[in-house]
Amino acid sequence: MKIRIIGGGPAGLYFAALMKREDPAHDVMVFERGPRDATWGFGVVFSDRALEFLRADDEAMYQLLTPLMETWPNLTIVHNDTPVPITGNGFAAIGRLELLSRLYAHAESLGVKIEFDSEVTALDHPALSGADLVVAANGAFSWIRNENADKFGTETELRSNRFIWYGTSKAFDSLSLTFRETGHGVFCAHHYRYSPGMSTFLVEVTDATWQRAGFADMNEEETIRHCEQVFARDLVGAPILSNKSFWRQFPAVTNRQWSFDNVVLMGDALRTAHFSIGSGTRLAMEDAIALWKALRDTGSLPEALALYQQRRLPPMQKILDAANASIRWYERMDELIRLPPVDFAYSYMTRTGRVDHDEVRRRDLKLAAAWEHDHPEIFGSSY
């Protein structure tokens, strides 16, 4: 099979590797517009059971990536100056460049050809000629998807909050979400260590806060200084670092139809899941597994593409619903910050609807007990 993949992110690279592992006779090429040794962003986090989702299908990949990850068992919600540590929330993180480098090497060791600095911008591009399958794995702003939005039934909604993906040289002890009230509104930092000396430091604010703070008129340096001042107590002198960092609004993307002819969507090109639930990379890699299996289990491309969507949609939708609930929670942070710290942390924990009170109890008895103490009416008169 001649497979051409546009986009060398986690989705495209992993799919390429799986197909080549399945059958070395497949002719698999990945076109990546960026260079080999540079990428945007800092570290990415995997929630819950980290890479367990890989294990059943790809023990080798699990073993390759797991030792490279920073892991910790707890989460800390910081409500202004009050930290609320919450146990029972496992997370693991890895630098995006580290992850991609391992995926490049793994795919190439299996015989995948990766063309860097190679941007493919049209379906009639010579690089795609004669392909049996064209995989659009070119990220959240995929031109293939946008130019064929009618065929894919694409819906894109730009959410109102603003965020900027920074890093810092301070290595934080736990995955933390720090919410600080300022005269302009609440600033939230999503921060976690992804290597022994580096952390992701993603800053998110509502659009109203962004406007009031005057970010539209600030240059890169001024923006960094402003964020450093807001989070001075958390950074304790460590600098905020930029890597092609700029303010963005999250594009919530969905598609009704995942393929047409021999073209199929995968990863962020297929759908985007808000970064606050730490699942975008996992979903991208799970898409790759799902398409590889659909091709393996069927006799023709149309059947495989149909099976890919049919099997993958239900589990994906569950995570997407949680991600969308999480987006809405962050959009309300200016109002939610008025809750006392324990209630605020509890609200955070239960925001997606996937964690109920019993689950909070299971994860952190102390938080559950503190919340029960403040809300005796919910537990009846015997409490």
Ligand X SMILES: Cc1cc2nc3c(=O)[nH]c(=O)nc-3n(C[C@H](O)[C@H](O)[C@H](O)COP(=O)(O)OP(=O)(O)OC[C@H]3O[C@@H](n4cnc5c(N)ncnc54)[C@H](O)[C@@H]3O)c2cc1C
Q: Which residues bind ligand X (CB under 6 A)?
A: 6-12, 31-34, 41, 44-45, 119-121, 137-139, 143, 163, 165, 202, 267-269, 275, 278-282, 284
Determine if residue 164 is left, alpha or beta; phi over 0 gives left, psi from -120 to 50 gives alpha, anything else beta.
beta
- 130: exposed, middle or buried (C-beta count within 10 Å: 0-12, 13-18, 19+)? exposed
Query: Smallest distance from the beta carbon of 269 to ligand X, in angstroms?
Result: 6
Comparison of 95 and 139: residue with beta carbon closer to ligand X = 139
Comparison of 316 and 368: residue with beta carbon closer to ligand X = 316
Comparison of 202 and 345: residue with beta carbon closer to ligand X = 202
> Which among 363, 351, 358 has a CA at the least distance from the CA of 85?
363
Task: Report how many helices (DSSP H) and strands (DSSP E) the chain contains, helices first.
Answer: 15, 17
Rg (CA), the chain: 22
Query: Smallest distance from the beta carbon of 281 to ligand X, in angstroms?
Result: 3
Comparison of 46 and 344: residue with beta carbon closer to ligand X = 46
Query: Smallest distance from the beta carbon of 121 to ligand X, in angstroms?
Result: 5
> Which among 199, 12, 194 has a CA at the least distance from the CA of 103?
12
Comparison of 29 and 45: residue with beta carbon closer to ligand X = 45
Distance set, CA 27 to CA 22, 131, 132, 268 (Å): 12, 9, 10, 24
Comparison of 200 and 209: residue with beta carbon closer to ligand X = 200
Distance set, CA 66 to CA 8, 96, 167, 237, 278 (Å): 21, 14, 22, 31, 16
Query: Smallest distance from the beta carbon of 225 to ligand X, in angstroms?
Result: 20
- 8: exposed, middle or buried (C-beta count within 10 Å: 0-12, 13-18, 19+)? buried
Query: Smallest distance from the beta carbon of 193 to ligand X, in angstroms?
Result: 12
Query: Smallest distance from the beta carbon of 234 to ligand X, in angstroms?
Result: 18
Query: Smallest distance from the beta carbon of 4 to ligand X, in angstroms?
Result: 11
Comparison of 45 and 177: residue with beta carbon closer to ligand X = 45
Comparison of 7 and 167: residue with beta carbon closer to ligand X = 7
Q: Residue 103 carries which side chain, given as an amino acid letter?
A: L
Q: Residue 359 carries which side chain, given as an amino acid letter?
A: E
Distance set, CA 257 to CA 144, 151, 270, 309, 313 (Å): 13, 7, 9, 8, 11
Query: Smallest distance from the beta carbon of 119 to ligand X, in angstroms?
Result: 4
Query: Smallest distance from the beta carbon of 229 to ligand X, in angstroms?
Result: 21
Comparison of 12 and 90: residue with beta carbon closer to ligand X = 12
276-300 per-residue burial string, b: 16 or more CB within 10 A, e: under 16: bbbbbbbbbbbbbbbbbbbbeeeee
Comparison of 324 and 367: residue with beta carbon closer to ligand X = 324
As given in the structure block, the two tokens for residue 204 are 């998110």
3-state helix, strand, coil in the chain (%, to 5): 45, 25, 30
C-beta separation of 151 from 255 below 8 A: no
- In terms of DSSP bridges, do strands 75-79 and 175-182 run parallel, antiparallel, or are they unpaired? parallel
Phi, psi for residue 269 in degrees, rounded to 5: -65, -30
Query: Smallest distance from the beta carbon of 339 to ligand X, in angstroms?
Result: 25
